[in-house]
Structures are given as structure tokens and as C-alpha cells.
Amino acid sequence: MSNPHQHTIDHTRVAIIGGGPSGLMAAEALALGGVRVDVYDAMPSVGRKFLMAGKGGMNITHSEPIEPFLSRYGKRRADMAPLLDAFGPDALRAWLVELGIDTFVGSSGRVFPTDMKAAPMLRAWLHRLRESGVRFHMRHKWIGWAASASADAHGLRFATPQGESEVQADAVVLAMGGGSWARLGSDAAWVPLVAQRDVPVSPLLPANCGFDADWRDYFSERYAGQPVKPVSISVESVDGTVQERQGEFVVTSTGIEGSLVYALSSTIRDRLMADGEVTLRLDLAPGLSAQRVADEVTRPRGSRSMSSHLHGRIGITGVKLGLLHECLSKEAFADAATLAQAIKSLPLRLTRVRPIDEAISSAGGVPFEALDGTLMIRQLPGVFCAGEMLDWEAPTGGYLLTACFASGLVAGRGALGYIGASPR
């Protein structure tokens, strides 16, 4: 019996599933080839996570030299290098200028649009894509592969407000994001659909995430939301090497988060997964030598309390003082020599990774080993994969977005080549 809600099967040359930066960049690459491109997204509008990422200032890329830039991708550096060679940070900035968006380099080396906003950039980009013929289909959630596909086309099933519809496409670009911020569209519902076709998928894990420290109530209530800066964190990785970074992080009601924590989050997460807990070492006075701290802390303090002494001699106060009280016993805090050592190497025990849906991004996904150099899935000729669906991770600082743009461009060009088109 026919389904009364079934739409007539539609045909397109290339279907892009996912309207984030990687999907839109794939659409642009394909539109330049003069082919029909249809973008499908489950949400009412495209780029929702992209817009959310820009709320605090749209950090689009980073200005550091390419070698340290590539190092931010860790064990996937070799896989990411060809993508960033095709469309790296300099190319991204030039592309933005063509779009009418000027950028500037902040004091940290991060690159921002002049107005710091994501919305004007997205509006200009969508206008250009529509002008080039790209068609958008909102509230179209991919729910699987269609059995009616022809020998030379891929059949896709979508749930829409009007019922189920089918699309046949000569090539497909999958760009549906990872597993974080599900309410903005990245709900990882694609994982079983891809796995159905025997495509390997590495488990999705939180990346650029916070961690629980099991604070006592007093500390949590008094200091949640406060930044700790400047501070240095060191942590031993699973392979025994020590990772160390300086910057700032934020105390939360349950633990810690923020840019410095995100820079080390993959190492911290992997240790937690391996050992069930991990102890960081905090240097609360990174600008002072251990000897200087020891000299100042052990200096006679007369009738002053130790807290007043620390404030006056080395500027330890507020949340840093709170951390010392939280992580040290009363006896250790009262002993000047022990306290001085702790200021330069305070042990902070972390017990859990925060849930993936709270994370800024996710690790895991389709491994590069399952793809060819054009990001086509070897198991599914004509199906390409881009963005956070791929198994890679990077810290915040523009590295995430740059890689999403780059992988989308490579996948789009790969789809062009697959269907025998070429950029104009």
C-alpha cells in the first residue's frame, strides 16, 4: 500500500546533509562547478551552532604560523595537513574579504571579523549561495537510506513536517556535526545510519569540555563563575609525557572549564577514561620562581594571618586563596614551606568529564582511514564526509572552524570530481 504522506521522489546532482560551515563550504565548491546543489538541514534555519559560537565574539581562525597551527590537531595532524593546505587560515581570511567581511588579529593571535559577529557573515554567505543556485530545504531530518535508489544514484530518506520524502542524488556530502549541543542540530543521529552501511565510526567523546572536581559546598557557592588567572596547568598524559599550558580557566559549580582547560581537555579526558581520575598540578604564581615564592611565604609575618601575608607578599587572594584552602589540609596550609610548594604545584583532583552535550565540540566520528584523499567514504562511493563528523579534534582558538571550512571545501571538490564536473 502506498504511503499517503510519501512525497514524489526528488532528484538532485549533489545532496548536502547539514547546513553548518562544512556543509555550506561544500555547497559553495559545488555551485562553482555549475551543478545543482540541494542542502538539507533538520533545523528551521542553517548555521545555528555557528551563530552560537559567535555570541561571545566570532573567533574565525588563528594568525600563528602554519607549523604550530597544524600541531593543534595532535595525532590527526598528518590527516588535517592536506585539508589545511587546500584552505588554510590565510585562505579563509582572503575568502572572508571577498565576502565583504574584514578581519583583525586580536592580542592573543586569534582572528575575528571586525564587528566580532557571526550573523552578518552568515547572511552574506547565504545570499551568495542562493544567488549561485544553491537550494535549501529546512526541517528535513535525514532518517536513512532509500531502497528505491538506482544503480548510479544514492537514495536518501528525510522526515519533514509534511511527512517522509525521498531524494536521489548522484553524490552526497554528509556534514551533520558531532555530538555536542544537540539542541542546535548536532545530535549524532547519523551514527547508526552510517554504521548500517558498514562504515566504521569511532565513539563520539566530549572535546573542549569541562571537568568535575567534586568541590565542597562552601567553595562551590562562593567561587563558581570566577576566573583563575594567570595560572599554569600541567598534566601527565596516558603515554607519560607532561603537557603544560599557561592561561586562565573558570571555576564552575561542579569543577573547571575555560580556554586553558580546553587546550588540555583531550589529555585530561583520556587520562580520566584510562584511570578513572586524574590529578592536575596548578601553578598559581606562574610569574614567580619557586625560590621567590618560598622566600616570600616563609618570610616572618608577625601578627598577620597567612591569608593576609599571601596577599601582601605575592598577590594570592580571592579564588586562588580559595583553591589553596580547598585542596590543602589545614595543617598543610599552616606550614609555610608546604604552602609555598603548593602555590607552585597545587594538586587538583578531577573525577569526571562533563556530558558531551555541554562540550563545545566532540572527538570521534568517521576515521580518516575509512576515507580517500577527497574525503569520500571508501565503503560508499559517491558519499563524502566533512566537518565534525570526521574523527579529529582541536582546541578553541579558530582551529575548529578553520578545519570545518577546509574539510567542507575538499569534500565539495571531491564530489565535483566524482560526478565529472569541475570548478568554473
Q: Pairing state of beta strands 135-137 and 37-40?
A: parallel
Question: Taking the domains of the chain in order of start, what are their residue ranges?
Answer: 10-206+363-418, 211-353
Segment 167-187 shows an average pLDDT of 93
pLDDT at 150: 65
pLDDT at 149: 62
Residues in the chain: 424
Residue 159: strand pairing partners: 141, 164
Q: Of the candidates 81, 66, 130, 187, which has an alpha carbon nearest to the alpha carbon of residue 407? A: 81
The chain-wide mean pLDDT, for the chain, equals 94
**DSSP SS3 for 241:** coil
H or E element in which residue 246 lies: strand 242-251
Q: What is the pTM of this model?
A: 0.91
Measured torsion, CA atoms of residues 408, 411, 415, 420, in degrees rounded to the nearest 10: 110
Between 106 and 153, residue with greater pLDDT: 106
d(CA 90, CA 401): 13
Residue 182 confidence (pLDDT) above 90: no
pLDDT at 31: 96
Measured torsion, CA atoms of residues 389, 395, 401, 403, in degrees rounded to the nearest 10: -60
CATH 3.50.50.60 fits 10-206+363-418, yes or no: yes
d(CA 32, CA 35): 8
Q: Of the candidates 52, 45, 47, which has an alpha carbon nearest to the alpha carbon of residue 360? A: 52
Q: Taking a C-beta distance cutoff of 8 angstroms, is the pair 411, 404 a contact?
A: no
Q: Of the candidates 315, 180, 325, which has an alpha carbon nearest to the alpha carbon of residue 251? A: 325
The percentage of residues in the chain with a pLDDT greater than 70, rounded to a whole number, is 96
Q: Of the candidates 200, 202, 271, which has an alpha carbon nearest to the alpha carbon of residue 241? A: 271
